[in-house]
């Protein structure tokens, strides 16, 4: 019984950590826009100074990953006169996850038992202890808005929500992967 409880706890912990590493992606776009007509883009910058929450390395990682994804779709980054403009917005939230683990100890008594220690022929005793754990983490939401330069109209929006990795060496690997996942929602596929 104790081994089963440990296995259940390990399974719950693995589910928690696998969801914490998960990146949720949402997007929407103008169905009337011809995305193949866009050949150039420029960065409008970070809206409402939301980049102040990032260090210079992570800002560069995000911008480089976006540039690589747009490049793979045939768009070129230019300083001015672009067909489209890309604006970025970032929100970081401190969150807490709570997990519970119950350890059931039972089996004292005499005679056959059913259920929680009571049954035909005798009584038994059982106890349960529940342990709660709280883990603090940071959840980041990156919003990428693309505007048509001629009409200043929003044509695509991608939203990426994920847990921020604490270790910089992990962010170096996860940021490009998560941006790639976000850009899968862009209406134009990468060129082969």
Q: What pLDDT score does 10 carry?
A: 42
- Residues with pLDDT less than 50, the chain: 1, 4-20
pLDDT digits (tens, 9 = 90+) for 130-181: 888 888 888 999 999 999 988 789 999 999 999 988 888 899 999 999 999 9
pTM of the model: 0.72
Q: Which residues of 167-183 are buried (b: 16+ CB within 10 A; e: fewer)?
A: eeeebeebbbebbebbb
Spell out the residues 6+ positions from residue 138 whose beta carbon is closer than 8 angstroms to its own.
92, 93, 94, 95, 163, 164
Q: What pLDDT score does 69 carry?
A: 97
Q: Are 186 and 158 in contact (CB under 8 A)?
A: yes
Q: What pLDDT score does 167 carry?
A: 87
**CATH code reported for the domain at 2-183:** 3.30.160
Using DSSP, state whether 111 is helix, strand or coil.
coil
Q: What pLDDT score does 120 carry?
A: 53
Q: What is the rounded distance in angstroms from the CA atom of residue 90 to the CA atom of residue 79? A: 22
- Find the DSSP H helices in the chain: 2-20, 56-71, 168-183
Q: What pLDDT score does 183 carry?
A: 97
Q: What is the rounded distance in angstroms from the CA atom of residue 84 to the CA atom of residue 148? A: 5
Using DSSP, state whether 114 is helix, strand or coil.
strand
Q: What pLDDT score does 5 carry?
A: 45
| Domain spans in the chain, listed from the N-terminal domain onward | 2-183
Q: What pLDDT score does 15 carry?
A: 40
């Amino acid at each position: 019984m104790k081994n089963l409880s440990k296995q259940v706890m390990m399974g719950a912990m693995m589910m928690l950590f696998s969801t914490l590493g998960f990146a949720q992606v949402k997007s929407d776009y103008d169905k009337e826009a011809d995305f193949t007509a866009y050949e150039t883009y420029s960065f409008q910058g970070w809206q409402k100074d939301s980049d102040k929450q990032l260090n210079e390395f992570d800002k560069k990682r995000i911008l480089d990953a976006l540039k690589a994804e747009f490049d793979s779709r045939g768009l070129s980054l230019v300083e001015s006169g672009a067909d489209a403009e890309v604006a970025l917005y970032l929100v970081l939230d401190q969150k807490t996850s709570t997990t519970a683990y119950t350890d059931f100890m039972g089996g004292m008594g005499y005679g056959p038992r059913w259920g929680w220690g009571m049954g035909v022929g005798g009584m038994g005793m059982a106890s349960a202890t529940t342990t709660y754990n709280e883990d603090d983490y940071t959840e980041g939401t990156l919003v990428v808005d693309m505007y048509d330069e001629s009409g200043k109209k929003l044509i695509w929006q991608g939203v990426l929500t994920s847990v921020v990795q604490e270790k910089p060496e992990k962010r170096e690997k996860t940021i490009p992967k998560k941006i790639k996942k976000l850009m899968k929602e862009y209406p134009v596929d990468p060129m082969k």
